[in-house]
Amino acid sequence: MSPDSPPPPFRPPHPLALALIAALARRPGARVLEVGTGSGRNTRALLAAGFEVASLDAEGPVCAAALSSHALLHGTRAQWSALLARIARALEPGAPLYATFGSVNDARYAVGAEIEPRVYAPLEGDEIGVPHIFFTESELREALAAAWEIVAIEERVVDEIAGAWAHERAPLRDARHWFVIARTRAQ
């Protein structure tokens, strides 16, 4: 693309959205729960791939998979756990979750006011006062263990991948998130 070309109209889907679409190829038309839509880049990709997209209002275990990129970052530990439990309840037993979570290795870790261990609220910037929850790999594994079987977990630098619109005044530098694929445990 030449420097004079207009920018593309939409940001590309998140890598986990593309991975989920590939993994669900054998379930055409399946219902996918998306948490934290943002600009809708992942919603558009899911719909274009022929899936139905559901929100957390979904009643019962009706979704074949869940996707949440750069949205399960906020709240206290209790709020985060409650949200993860809602996601699990919306999924068929054994259904996959493709999601990102905050890492203690993120440059923003421990910046601002400590709300509780591993939870900090910035004192300035775009997300002032918003609690952010961070995990070591072992703590994330432990927090998910009761309801989820972890299939894959990997830490990635997400400066170019996370939602730039949420950080316009302070672009991300060395933001690191866990990329997780997990499955609900059959109850």
Alpha helix segments (H runs only) across the chain: 15-23, 41-48, 77-89, 137-145
Among 24, 30, 31, 42, binds ligand SAM (CB under 6 A): 42
Q: Is 41 in the site for ligand SAM (CB under 6 A)?
A: yes
In whole angstroms, how close is the CB of 97 to ligand SAM at the nearest point?
A: 13
Question: Which residue number, 35 or 49, has a Cβ lying nearer to ligand SAM?
Answer: 35
Residue 176 near residue 106 (C-beta atoms within 8 A)? yes
In whole angstroms, how close is the CB of 11 to ligand SAM at the nearest point?
A: 7
In the shown chain, the binding pattern of residues 56 to 75 toward ligand SAM, with x for contact by CB under 6 A and - for none, equals -------------xxx--x-
Question: Which residue number, 94 or 154, has a Cβ lying nearer to ligand SAM?
Answer: 154
CA-based nearest residue to 148, from 122, 178, 186, 179? 186
Question: Which residue number, 62 or 71, has a Cβ lying nearer to ligand SAM?
Answer: 71
Tell me the residue ranges of DSSP E strands in 69-147. 96-102, 113-116, 119-121, 132-133
Which one-letter DSSP state was computed for residue 119?
E
Q: Which residue has the tokens 């977990």?
A: 153
Q: Is 32 in the site for ligand SAM (CB under 6 A)?
A: no
Amino acid, single-letter form, for residue 93: P
Angle in degrees, CA 136, 137, 142, rounded to 5? 95
Q: Is 136 in the site for ligand SAM (CB under 6 A)?
A: no
Which positions lie near ligand SAM, rule CB under 6 A?
14, 35-39, 41-42, 69-71, 74, 83, 162-163, 166
